[in-house]
Amino acid sequence: MAMETESQKAFHVDVGNLLAFNPFHSFPSLPASRDELVKECLHEGTKLVQAVADSLFNLPSSEDVDGPLVKLPPPTTKLPREKHLPKPKPPTKWEEFAKKKGIQKRKKDKVVWDEQTGTWKRRFGYDRVNDDKDIPIIEAKMTDEPGVDPFAKRQDEKKKRVEKQEKNRLQNLKQAAKIGALPSHVQLAATALPITGTQAPPKKVTKDELGNVAGMAATSTASGGKFDRKLPGEKPAKKQGKHRKFLPVVEGSGIGSREKEQTESVLNKLISKHSHEILNVGKAVTMYNVKKEKKARNKRNQEGKFSSATNKLKPKKLLQKKTGKKGPVSSKKGKAK
């Protein structure tokens, strides 16, 4: 090993990476066979590894359970980082204020002496000092309005304080996020689009509404939404299929031709061959009864000018009215046929 000449020995050794580099070797001509090439490579590699091992095993070692432990020097070859350097957190608004005023941080104890019960209680949490629910009596002051619940007022004030604190915390985090120093476990997520002017905030659509809308959109297609691509987890529309049924354009004219049936039914309704089917007997009876009662009332009011006989002289006027319309029409149509 010591017989090597200067030019060959100058390997670049980086013990921190267990790396060795020989910049002086070259293949003047490629060896003929693969095996020879491999042998040559291994030979050179062995020399380099030996050089690293020389430096490595000569480092001061400490005995450990598994074997000698060696403290590696830091690597000399510089490689690029995988992530950016972490930026220090900017001081929060309170921290800046405290620095300006010279306020020192005081270490707080976990337990505090509670005068009321005479025990040591937690500063915050389950069974804590100065809890709102432990106050039995609040004395009224002159400035208090009657009708204001002081306990509720205290709770509201606390809520406001908490909200203000959260607002400040959010502002601090936003400031940190602006310069890219957000702590790793915190994420800021936008909840809604910005509200501009007098726009009302967009209403949240319920699940049922969305389902209905999807179903409505489906029926607007020619196939009734049967072949629409569904999202994973989407349920089929409630009212499946088309809501209107159109007759085919071209159809054979046989006994069962639908268009003929359709037109026939319409005409029958108009012509009223079976007019008694058209009449709504119940409705007619009711109308007659109502009219009758009205007449009776009028009669009572005007004190018997009209005798009962005159009522009898006007029988079944309503019925005639109904059929009256159809009568001349039917007769005309009948003649046409």
Partner 1 sequence: MSNNEQTLRFCSSAIMMRIKTPKNGRVRRELEKRAPKLVETGKKTLILQGTKTSGTLNGVLSEIYHLKKGGAVRFTRKNDNIRPFESGGEASLEFFSLKTDCSLFVYGSHSKKRPNNLVIGRMYDHHVYDLVEVGVENFKSIESFNYDKKMAPRVGSKPFIAFVGEGFENVDELKHLKEVLLDLLRGEVVENINLAGVDRAYVCTAISLNKVYLTHCALRLKKSGTVVPRMELVEVGPSMDLVVRRHRLPNEGLRKEAMRTAKDQPKKKVKNVSSDAIEGTIGKIYIPDQKVGDVALPNKAKGVKRERREAKKKEANERASKKQREESE
Of residues 171 through 190, those in contact with partner 1 by CB under 8 A are 173-174, 184-190
Q: Interface mask (CB under 8 A) for partner 1, residues 144-173, using x and -?
A: -------------------x--xx-xx--x
Q: Is residue 50 within the footprint of partner 1 (CB under 8 A)? A: yes
Q: Is residue 37 within the footprint of partner 1 (CB under 8 A)? A: yes
Q: What is the dihedral of CA 160, 165, 169, 172, to 10 degrees?
A: 100
Q: Is residue 196 within the footprint of partner 1 (CB under 8 A)? A: yes
Q: Is residue 234 within the footprint of partner 1 (CB under 8 A)? A: no
Cβ at position 59, least distance to partner 1 in Å: 9
Closest CA to 48 of 75, 27, 25, 21: 21
Select from 10, 42, 140, 270 the one that contacts partner 1 (CB under 8 A): 42
- Kindly report the length of the chain: 337
Cβ at position 175, least distance to partner 1 in Å: 12
Exposure letters 264-303 (e unless 16+ CB within 10 A, then b): eeeeeeebbeeeeeeeeeeeeeeeeeeeeeeeeeebeeee
Query: Would you give the DSSP letter of residue 265?
Result: H
- Subset of 294-313 contacting partner 1 (CB under 8 A): none
By beta-carbon proximity to partner 1, the closer residue of 143 and 184 is: 184
Please give the structure tokens belonging to residue 160: 């406001």
- Subset of 79-108 contacting partner 1 (CB under 8 A): 79-86
Q: In whole angstroms, how far apart are CA 6 and each of 9, 11, 20, 51?
A: 5, 10, 16, 14
Q: Is residue 5 within the footprint of partner 1 (CB under 8 A)? A: no
Closest CA to 292 of 271, 317, 270: 317
- Subset of 62-81 contacting partner 1 (CB under 8 A): 64, 66-72, 75, 77-81
